[in-house]
Structures are given as C-alpha cells and as structure tokens.
C-alpha cells in the first residue's frame, strides 16, 4: 500500500500575519553581486546609471520587498563615505573581508536608486567592526534627515534633495565570528550596539533596528550570545538576527532535505531566549526575529579557496544550484512561514551571482537558478495569514535527525484576494506522495492551479545555455471535492496548490 499524507487547514487556526519582508534578499559587495551583477555600465542592457535592466526585470518578478546591504562581512571594514560624491573622486580600497579591491563605484545613493527601480526598500547595515556610534548617527542623518545640517545638506549637494528614508538598519554583522573585522565578545558588542542604537534613534525615532544574533546555531557561544546582547539592547532594538546555511557535502539527499527541521529548532531556541529576556526585563515588548541570511551554500567552497587575491569583483561564492537545492529552499521557506508570528523579516543570501537565485554572465545573459522558483512562488502567493498545518505524514530517520516527515507543508490564507495557497515538498526521492488537504472550515473552493517543480535528476542545474532545464510546470493533478483537496505530489517535488475561495462557510 502506498503511504499517504493528510493535512487539516482551519482558517481560525492562525500562526500569524505574514510580513512581506520575510521575502527579502541581500546584496553584498562580494564577488559579482554588485559589479557584473546588478551594475555593469558596459553591458548592452545597462540603463543610464549602469544598472542591468535584465537583472532588474528578474528581481522585480521575485517581488522582493526589502534588500539588505552592503554586507555581510564586507560592512565591518567599510567606510560608507567612500561611496558618496562624484564617482571620479572615490577611493579604491583593499577589501579585507573577501581580499579583493573595492572601487566604490556603487554606494548608498546608487543602491537606494537601484532599490527604487527594483520596487524594494533598503535594509542598511552599519559598520560596528572598525566604526561605531558616531559613524552610524552620521549615515542616518545623511540618508534620512530632511535638511539644514551638515550631512543632510551634503546629500542634497550630491543630487538627492529628498531623504532616502531608510527605515530598517542592522547593527553590524556577525560580530560573534572570529572571522569578522572588529570581532567582539557578547559583552563588548552588546555595549556598542546599545549606544549605537540610542544615537541612531535620536537622529530618526521612526527607524527599526536589528541587533546581531549568532552567526549560526553551531557557534560555541549560542545562545548565550543572544542573552548577553539582549541584556544590553532589549529596550532599544526591534529584531534580533539569525543566519544559517546548509550543504550536502556527504551527498546524502535524505539528510540534506531534513536540514530545515534544524532551522525550525534554531528559530524556537532564539524565540525562547528572547522571551526569557523579556521576562527578566519585565518588558511588555516582544522581540521579533530577522532571519537575514539563509540559503544553501557549499558548492563553490573549493573554487573560492583558489581565487587570487586583490582583484576587482572576481567570481566568488558562485554556487550553481541543482534540483535538490531547490527542494531544501522550499522547505526553508515553509519553516519561515511556520514561525510567521515571530519571524518578521528574512533575507535569502544573496540575490545575484553570489549564492543567488539569479546568475549572469559579464556582458552576456542573465538566467534563473533552480532556487529562483520556490522563492518566487512563496513571495508572490504567500501573502496573508499563515495557518497552523495539522499534518499526518509517513516519516524517515537520518543519522542526525529522526522522525523527518516526507511531507513538509503549510497554507497561507489571503483573505483580501479570497485565495488559499498550499506550499508542499515531498522529500521522498523514490515515491510519489498522495496528499489530502481537509478544508473543513472553508466554504466552496476551486483549484486555480497546481504548480510542480520536479526533475528526474536531483543534480540537474540551469545554465546560460540551458536556462530552462529545471523549471516548474502547471500540470499538477490537484482536485477538490467536498472541501477536501486531493493531489499527488511527485517524488522529490516542490508543489504550489492555489485555491479560489468562492464563498464563506
């Protein structure tokens, strides 16, 4: 008998409102993310500012609402003042985080323009490695103050009379990491983050701040780092960050696809630490989470170790993603939605060329990697309220994780558009999985479409010459009768089942 899975979806069992910013992304001055990625003045499709319009079109199709910038490890050695003023006057610098040369041809103003073209807000990271509170207050004044002061008037002189009104700011990056320029203990970082947060909000009280959590769950200081940092910063910040990357170096697909359960555990641990500090502080504020770096990352490690230092924009971290990577990305997106009550922002790291859904050739084509599709589907169709997924599924065990459900799924109810969307991954690489979704609390529904991403080769990739080798189709067999959706999820597949709600119960 074929094992099957069941799911109950009730419109009153709400996890939380999905903040659209969980579909954010990340551009760092690293590799070809900026130069040769979003910006290539000599490209035939470059606009008047040097931005690639083919890349912009792909970014807009992802409907990414917020983009973190300029790092990443890069930011801990970055002086934002190198990236303003005339391009001819800008200094070239040794970039120590990734051992390249930074020409500073794209800076704050250009990136704000690019985000405006992409339909995204800026999430700016300030340097708390080699810089501190004074530098942070200056950049907030430059970008957000209306005018009549040194930094705001300088912005106007640079051609930007109106403020950029950047509302979301990161207080440094991965300051717990020994690899970080200006690495700090939790005590050291907590103190400087607190004082930086205060002056930034004194300049602009409307901004929101993200304090650095651990750079991974595997750090020896996790979760003590979070507790110590929040001890100092809790009243002054709005979010704490999480970062995680997964790989399949052992070529064990079953174990690889189970990694999102570790992501769930990581999120729960950070929430518990935040809530402990809320109780300790007798605070009425609930700390929210910003999962501002997440993705699959391992394919490019060997190539990156062989790069000659001190080049401008060499190819770095250019993972070429395969079909199984897309499945894990789908599972990770579902994990974010499962915690929509607390995870309010997230950034797939990164957006173009560097561990990215979009790849380009210098002077040539741009194309979609396999991971582009689940990210696009959830961003476009995953708006509304995330509903508690009551799931019965056959399970399997790996060496590290037991009771891994073959079905990973969640539903999002978009009341405004009268739509319900089920996102589902079948982790079984050998068998299709019959699924029934009980919609008992909903009225009449009809299936709009059942999108499927599947491939016979788990290692299949998209390339410039074969950009559509792995792409979704709309041939899924989802059907509905008596408020029960029946569908077959092909083996090793990502599925999007969209339903139109015709009437209320």
Where in the sequence numbering do the catalytic residues fall? Answer: 174, 293
Question: How far is 305 from 320, CA to CA, in rounded Å?
Answer: 16
Question: Which residue, among 15, 111, 105, has the nearest Cα to 59 in the 3D structure?
Answer: 111
Question: In Å, what is the CA distance from 367 to each residue of 361, 401, 453, 469?
Answer: 9, 35, 17, 11
Helix (H) or strand (E) holding 140: helix 133-144
The DSSP string of 184-212 is --HHHHHHHHHHHHHHHHHH-TT-EEEE-
Phi-psi label, residue 280: left if phi above 0, alpha if psi -120 to 50, beta otherwise: alpha
Contact 458, 494 (CB under 8 A): no
**What does DSSP assign to residue 438?**
E
Calculate the CA 165 to chain-centre distance. Answer: 22
274/271 Cα distance (integer angstroms): 5
Residue closest to 451 by CA, chosen among 417, 398, 487: 487
Distance CA 292, CA 109 (A): 22
Structure tokens at 389: 């997924």
């Amino acid at each position: 008998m074929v094992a099957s899975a069941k799911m109950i979806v009730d419109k009153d069992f709400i996890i939380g409102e999905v903040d659209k910013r969980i579909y954010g992304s990340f551009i760092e001055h690293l590799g070809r993310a900026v130069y040769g990625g979003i910006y290539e003045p000599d490209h035939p499709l470059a606009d008047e500012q040097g931005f690639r319009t083919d890349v912009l079109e792909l970014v807009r199709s992802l409907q990414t609402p917020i983009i973190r910038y300029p790092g990443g490890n890069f930011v801990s050695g970055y002086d934002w003042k190198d990236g303003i003023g005339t391009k001819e006057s800008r200094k070239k610098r040794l970039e120590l985080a990734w051992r390249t040369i930074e020409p500073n041809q794209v800076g704050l103003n250009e990136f704000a323009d690019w985000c405006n073209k992409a339909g995204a807000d800026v999430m700016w990271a300030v340097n708390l490695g080699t810089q501190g509170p004074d530098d942070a207050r200056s950049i907030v004044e430059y970008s957000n103050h209306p005018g009549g002061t040194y930094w705001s008037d300088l912005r106007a002189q640079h051609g930007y009379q109106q403020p950029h009104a950047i509302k979301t700011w990161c207080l440094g990056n991965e300051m717990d990491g020994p690899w970080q320029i200006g690495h700090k203990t939790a005590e050291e970082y907590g103190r400087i983050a607190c004082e930086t947060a205060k002056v930034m909000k004194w300049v602009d009280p409307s901004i929101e701040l993200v304090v650095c959590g651990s750079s991974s769950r595997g750090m020896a200081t996790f979760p003590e780092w979070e507790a110590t940092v929040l001890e100092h910063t809790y009243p002054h910040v709005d979010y704490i960050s999480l970062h995680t990357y997964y790989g399949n170096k052992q070529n064990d697909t079953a174990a690889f696809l189970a990694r999102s359960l570790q992501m769930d555990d990581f999120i729960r641990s950070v929430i518990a630490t935040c809530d402990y500090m809320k109780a300790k502080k007798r605070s009425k504020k609930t700390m929210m989470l910003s999962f501002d770096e997440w993705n699959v990352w391992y394919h490019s490690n060997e190539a990156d170790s062989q790069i000659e230092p001190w080049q401008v924009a060499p190819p770095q971290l250019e993972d070429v993603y395969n079909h199984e990577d897309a499945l894990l990305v789908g599972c990770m997106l579902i994990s974010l939605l499962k915690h929509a009550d607390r995870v309010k922002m997230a950034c797939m790291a990164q957006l173009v060329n560097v561990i990215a859904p979009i790849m380009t050739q210098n002077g040539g084509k741009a194309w979609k990697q396999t991971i582009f599709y689940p990210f696009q589907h959830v961003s476009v169709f995953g708006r509304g309220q995330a509903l508690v997924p009551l799931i019965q599924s056959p399970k399997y065990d790996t060496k590290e994780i037991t009771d891994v459900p073959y079905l990973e799924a969640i539903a999002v109810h978009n009341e405004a558009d009268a739509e319900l969307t089920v996102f589902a991954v079948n982790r079984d690489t050998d068998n299709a999985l019959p699924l029934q979704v009980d919609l008992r609390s909903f009225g009449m529904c009809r299936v709009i479409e059942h999108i499927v991403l599947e491939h016979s080769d788990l290692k299949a990739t998209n390339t410039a010459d074969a950009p559509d080798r792995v792409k979704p189709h709309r041939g899924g067999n989802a059907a509905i009768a008596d408020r029960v959706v029946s569908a077959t999820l092909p083996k090793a597949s990502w599925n999007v089942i969209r339903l139109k709600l015709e009437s209320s119960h």
